[in-house]
Chain A
Amino acid sequence: MRAVIIGAGITGAACARALARAGFAVAVLERGAAVGGTSAMCEGNLLVSDKAPGPELALALHAADRWYALRDELRDELGPDFPSIEYERKSGLVVATTHTGARALKTFSGTQRAAGVEARELSVDDAGKLEPFLTRDITAAVHYPQDAQVQPAATAEALLASARRAGTEVLTGVEVTGAMRGIDGRINGVSTMNGRHGADIVINAAGPWAGAVASSLGVSLPVLPRRGMVLVTTRMPHRIFRKVYDADYVGATQSGDADLQTSTVVESTAAGNVLIGSSRQRIGFDDRLDLGVVREIAAKSMRLFPFLAEMQILRTYGGFRPYMPDHLPVIGEDPRVPGLYHVTGHEGAGIGLSVASADILRARILGEDSPVDAAPFTVDRPTLVPHLREMAR
């Protein structure tokens, strides 16, 4: 069986690895450089803390276990010459700064606990022990030991290298422009700027461009880019030990508003740079610098960690999250075009959910039991159908 995967971001890489290991002859087609899209312009949070009980949380919990094992698997397989994926189960600390915020956070974490998440309410003092440089102006704190992080670009490269070792061919500079269809209507390959590629199945893993790729293949898919900006400070001795974020963040991830929202997520990287995120804004693929956004993120980060005021911002970067109107990734076959699968729409969680999504894909294709209930992620789920219709008009 031949599989063509469109897009060499972390999603395409994880899918390629899963399918190549299942015995498929896999070709990944990437129009630019591998790991040159959103997967190189994001942060590497592997979070359960920001997810409300439901299918995405179930996927994230499965993912949390997978990452833990994957770190050693990839290291053993790729050897010491390969850059480290910098997996660290450093845990998350979510804090509220208002009384309403505190109530909401406590209720939210209670529902998460019921769904199997480790979420420990801390006193302000205990939060201060975990994060001595955190502001004392907080009204509630919840500690999430399962939250972890990776360096996303290295992780995507590692999954891709592992896929290559299992026989995957990665072709860069190859842009997919259309579908080849058999007389039965099944997709049996793709056309590209550089010729055709036959395949038994085609996987659309084009991230925020997955909607455009779907249209070129003849179907609609309501994936939209949602811009995010991150600020990076100069290196400094470690003063932030976990992922620390403002409880507003949870609201922002769940909101569908097109307007600018910022919420503070602060963390140190292994090298000692502090990453401060992030914003959410639906403005198409507009990548111009907007200091209004940067200013707001900067101001909020100082409130969480007052010492940051004197630290220097070295650079900013931004990327486009693949946004779905119903806030759930799509993982499955497109009923309109047999043989075409979509794995996308992970919005701000595509690093964390990449490998778990590939597990579901593999199970669906091979007809095996899925490690997580796959029904909520199907293309024709009820919450997506109206959008499909709307787009198809």
Chain B
Amino acid sequence: MTDVLVVGAGPAGLAAAVAARRRGAAVRIIDAAEGLGGQYWRHLPSSRPSEREELLHHGWDTFGSLRDEVCQDPDIVVSMQTEVWAIEQTADNRLRVNLARGEADGTGRLTEALAPEQLILATGAHDRALPVPGWTLPGVFTAGAAQAMAKGERIAIGERVVVAGSGPFLLSVTASLGQAGARVVGVYEASRSRALARHWLARPWELAGAAHKIGELAEYAVHHIRGRVPYRTGHGVVAVHGTDRVEAVTVAVLDEHWRVVTGTERRIDCDAVCFGHGFVPRLELPIAAGCHITERRFVHVDACQRTSADRVFAVGELTAIGGADLALAQGEIAGWVAAGGSLDDRDIRRAIRSRTRAEQFADRMDRAHAIGDCWSDWLGDDTIVCRCEDVDAGTLKRVAAATNSTGLRPLKLNTRAGLGLCQGRVCGRNVEQILLATHGCEEFADATTTDRRPIATPIRIADLARAPEHPTDSVLNRPRSQ
């Protein structure tokens, strides 16, 4: 039996695990979270089940059947609250995947090392929020966090909420907020309707294929119009106001580069703001595994979802931001092939077709909602960009100008941006863009990015010192207690 390790139990990882098992592999699926489902199917913990779950989630049936298959098959081992904290490439060209189980900052986590025959990375993305003056006030959330609170905790982030950023997922978070009891007073999409029309409507036949996706979005749109939530394109929230927490925001018209059109600013009262400016794939594990990263900073994969690293596959948001359908289709293909199947097999024909449709959707979304070049003009010198280390935009620009440096590594060391607890996950892309803009260049001369994190998540020194020296060969072995 082929041994397959799947990292990440969102739509992509679940689909991969199930397909690999169907093709006869022994499978282990792990996730740092407490429950299966990833970002898309984040739900109440089983200790507090809800009957309304299926009303809140699209494709809840799909989730239910994936979950049942994964949980009921003895040849699939599920390890939740288990993180991959490092991947090593050993001298014999194999990978060692290092796991730690237990609460993320708990003591005495169980550590384990695996050398799987096939590795499927499905670690998804985190959502990006651009900094604006005032964004560190309590009451400001990322779209992902707001949605997680709504879906996973049934908590609304505020009573009068403004949603801003770019991309169709703003609509779905708006819907989640509504379901959790918040009133959304406005949705501001920074892309202009011309760009949206160009990319969404230029080839409508491609979208017709993505009917399911569109149906879902159309449903959101209807939901908004019915609920009279104003939806404006070419607008952005460019400042947040308040003393101890959010009291209002400034909304302005943006041109196609996301520059504020002067004179269009207006103040809107609210008690919470939700920002979503696209997604950043979690690239640290693929980079550690030696996978090639594309210019657009996704994991490069072939038609089988194989990366450039031997016996490593990548699926879901690591490879494109295309929603759950794309993640499911890719996962199924990768799982099947990793377990020894072929693209020609009938079993995955549907998945291949569905992937093609979803990829077109992903591509158009990426183009229509690309972040404008001039967003950093919104910032004041004292706007914090890196929250972990309290680094403001002025410091970034001042150090870049004073040292004349075009190397990301020395710039990080000399500004401390991205050196904090989140290791640049939250601020990395924003920091990079501000620094590059100071010199007007496209990339750093030391060819590094903030995506590299050999230690993927912090680990206690005692746990590190106890980490096993030799990997376990079978993925089905459960961790021995220490």
Identify the A interface with B (CB < 8 A): 32-36, 40-41, 78, 81-83, 151, 153-154, 156-157, 160-161, 164, 170, 172-173, 231, 233-235, 271, 273, 288-292, 294-295, 298-299, 301-302, 308-317
Most chain A beta-carbon neighbours within 10 Å: one of B88, B415, B421, B464: B464
Say if the beta carbon of B55 comes within 8 Å of chain A: no
- The total number of A-B Cβ pairs within 8 Å is 137
B462 touches A33 (CB 8 A): no
Contact status B414-A288, CB under 8 Å: no
Indicate if the CB atoms of A83 and B455 lie closer than 8 Å.
Answer: no
Most chain B beta carbons < 10 A, residue from A36, A231, A294, A302: A36
Residues 450-482 of B at the A interface (beta carbon under 8 Å): 453-455, 458-462, 464-465, 467, 469
Q: Tell me how far the C-beta of B114 lies from the nearest C-beta in chain A, rounded to whole angstroms.
A: 13
Please determine whether A311 and B461 come into contact, CB atoms closer than 8 angstroms.
yes
Instruction: Tell me which of B86, B98, B402 has the highest count of chain A C-beta atoms within 10 A of its own C-beta.
Output: B402
With a CB–CB cut-off of 8 A, which chain A residues contact B464? 291, 294-295, 298, 313
Give the distance in Å from the alpha carbon of A81 to the alpha carbon of B400 in the complex.
11
Q: Which chain A residue lies CB-closest to B288?
A: A289
Contact across chains for A314 and B406 when beta carbons are under 8 A apart: no
B303 touches A (CB below 8 Å): no
Query: Is there an interface contact between B413 and A36, defined as CB atoms closer than 8 Å?
Result: no
B interface list, Cβ under 8 A from A: 86-89, 96, 98, 105, 107, 288, 389, 398-399, 402-410, 413-416, 419-421, 423, 444-447, 453-455, 458-462, 464-465, 467, 469
Residue numbers in A under 8 Å from B423 (CB-CB): 314-315
Using CB atoms, name the residue of chain A closest to B453: A315
Which of B89, B389, B402, B446 interacts with A83 by CB under 8 Å?
B402
B414–A164 touching, CB < 8 Å: no
Provide the bound-state CA to CA distance between A284 and B89, in Å: 16
A310 to B461 CA separation, bound complex (whole angstroms): 6
Q: Bound state CA distance, A311 and B409, in angstroms?
A: 25
**A157-B405 in contact (CB<8A):** yes
Are the C-beta atoms of A299 and B465 separated by less than 8 Å? yes
Contact indicator A83/B453 (Cβ below 8 Å): no
Taking A33-B408, A164-B404, A313-B461 as given, write out 8 further A-B residue pairs in contact, using a Cβ cutoff of 8 Å, ordered by the A residue number. Answer: A32-B407, A33-B444, A161-B403, A289-B454, A290-B88, A292-B469, A294-B464, A298-B465
* B89 to chain A: closest residue by CB: A288
> Is B445 a contact of A172 with CB atoms below 8 Å?
yes
B138 to chain A, nearest CB (A): 22
Q: List 25 A-B contacts (CB under 8 A).
A: A32-B446, A32-B447, A33-B406, A33-B408, A34-B404, A34-B410, A40-B410, A153-B413, A153-B414, A156-B410, A161-B402, A161-B403, A235-B420, A288-B88, A288-B89, A289-B86, A289-B88, A289-B89, A291-B96, A295-B467, A298-B464, A310-B107, A310-B461, A310-B462, A314-B455
Residues of B within 8 A of A273 (CB): 419
Docked-complex contact A314 and B421, CB < 8 angstroms: yes
Given contacts A310-B107, A313-B459, A313-B464, contact A32 B445 (CB under 8 A): yes
- Distance from B421 Cβ to chain A, minimum over Cβ atoms (Å): 6
> Given A33-B405, A83-B415, A172-B445: A157 and B454 within 8 A (CB)?
no
Contact A83 B444 (CB under 8 A): no
Contact between chains at B403 and A83 (CB < 8 Å) = yes
A315 touches B410 (CB 8 A): no
- The answer to whether B461 and A298 have CB atoms under 8 Å apart is yes
Which residues of A lie under 8 Å from residue B86 when comparing CB positions?
289, 291
Question: A157 and B469: CB pair below 8 A?
Answer: no
Contact partners of A302 in chain B: CB under 8 A: 461-462, 465
> Is B402 within 8 A of A82, CB to CB?
yes
The answer to whether B402 touches A78, judged by C-beta atoms less than 8 angstroms apart, is yes
Contact A311 B407 (CB under 8 A): no
* Residues of chain B lying within 8 A (CB to CB) of residue A154: 413-414
Chain A residues, CB < 8 A from B288: 289
Q: Which residue of A lies closest to B107 (CB)?
A: A310
Bound-complex Cα distance A98 to B464 (A): 25
- Inter-subunit contact B407/A33 (CB<8 Å): yes
From A32, A299, A313, A317, B458 is in contact (CB under 8 Å) with A313
| CB <8 Å contact, A309 and B460 | yes
Residue of A nearest to B398 (CB): A81
In the bound complex, CA of A290 to CA of B445 (Å)? 26
Shortest Cβ gap from B98 to chain A (Å): 7
Residue of A nearest to B104 (CB): A312
Q: Which residues of A contact B445 (CB under 8 A)?
A: 32-34, 36, 172-173
A32-B447, A292-B469, A314-B423 known; A157 vs B403 contact (CB < 8 Å):
yes
The complex places the Cα of A170 from the Cα of B404 at a distance, in Å, of 10
A25 to chain B, nearest CB (A): 19
Contacts of A234 in B (CB 8 A): 421, 458
User: How far is A156 from B409 in the complex, measured between Cα atoms in Å?
Assistant: 13
Query: A315 is contacted by which of B105, B446, B447, B454 (Cβ under 8 Å)?
Result: B454
- Report the minimal beta-carbon distance from B436 to chain A, rounded to whole angstroms: 12
Q: Give the nearest-CB partner of A8 in chain B.
A: B407
Residues in B neighbouring A156, C-beta threshold 8 A: 410
Counting chain A CB atoms within 10 Å of each CB, the highest count among B403, B408, B458 belongs to B403
Closest 4 pairs between A and B when the two form their complex, measured CB to CB = A33-B407, A33-B445, A36-B446, A309-B462
Cα A151 to Cα B423 in complex, Å, equals 19
Distance from A314 Cβ to chain B, minimum over Cβ atoms (Å) = 5
B341 nearest CB across to chain A (Å): 31
Given contact pairs A234-B458, A313-B458, A172 touches B406 in the complex (Cβ within 8 A) = yes
Could you tell me the distance between the alpha carbons of A164 and B467 in the complex, rounded to whole angstroms? 48
Determine which of B89, B415, B446, B460 lies in contact with A311 in the assembled complex, contact meaning CB atoms within 8 Å.
B460
Q: Which residues of chain B have C-beta atoms less than 8 A from A33's C-beta? A: 405-410, 444-446
> Which A residues are in CB contact (< 8 Å) with B107?
310
B407 and A301 contacting across the interface, CB-CB below 8 Å:
no
Q: Are B409 and A36 in contact (CB under 8 A)?
A: yes
Q: What is the CA–CA distance of A227 and B356 in the complex, to the nearest angstrom?
A: 46
A160 to B402, CA, bound (A): 11
Q: How far is the CA of A294 from the CA of B88 in the complex (A)?
A: 12
**Cα distance, A37 to B467, chains bound together (Å):** 30
Q: Give chain B nearest CB distance to A273 CB in angstroms.
A: 8
Q: Give Cα A165 to B87, complex, Å.
A: 45
Contacts of A301 in B (CB 8 A): 461
Q: A288-B89, A313-B455 are in contact. Are A36 and B462 (CB under 8 A)?
A: no
Give every chain A residue within 8 A of B455 (Cβ-Cβ): 313-316
Most chain B beta carbons < 10 A, residue from A164, A308, A315: A315
Determine the chain A residues whose CB is within 8 A of the CB of B462 once the complex forms: 302, 309-310
Q: How far is the CA of A33 from the CA of B107 in the complex (A)?
A: 40
List A contacts of B96 (CB < 8 A). Answer: 291
Specify which chain A residues have a CB less than 8 angstroms from the CB of B421 in the assembled complex: 234, 314
Residue of A nearest to B403 (CB): A157
Q: Which residues of A contact B399 (CB under 8 A)?
A: 83
How many Å lie between the Cα of A286 and that of B453 in the bound state? 17
Pairwise interchain contact B413-A312, C-beta atoms closer than 8 A: no
A35 in contact with B105 given A271-B416, A294-B464, A313-B461 (CB within 8 Å): no
Known: A271-B416, A315-B455. A36 touches B410 (CB 8 A): yes
State whether B446 touches A233 (Cβ < 8 A): no
Smallest beta-carbon distance B132→chain A, Å: 25
Taking CB atoms, residues of chain B closer than 8 Å to A164 are: 404
Choose one: B407, B453, B461; the contact of A233 (CB below 8 Å).
Answer: B461
* Cα(A290)–Cα(B88), bound, Å: 7
Closest beta carbon of chain A to B298's beta carbon, Å: 22
Closest chain A residue to B460 by CB distance?
Answer: A312
- Given the complex of chains A and B, what is the CA–CA distance between A330 and B105 in angstroms? 47
> Chain B's nearest CB lies how many Å from the CB of A304?
11
A160→B419 CA distance, assembly (Å): 23
Cα-based distance from A309 to B463 in the complex (angstroms): 8
Q: Shortest Cβ distance from B279 into chain A, in angstroms?
A: 23
Shortest CB distance A316–B (Å): 6
B406 to chain A, nearest CB (A): 5
B407, B423, B447, B467 — which one has the most chain A CB atoms within 10 A of its CB?
A: B407
Residues of B within 8 A of A83 (CB): 399, 402-403, 414-415
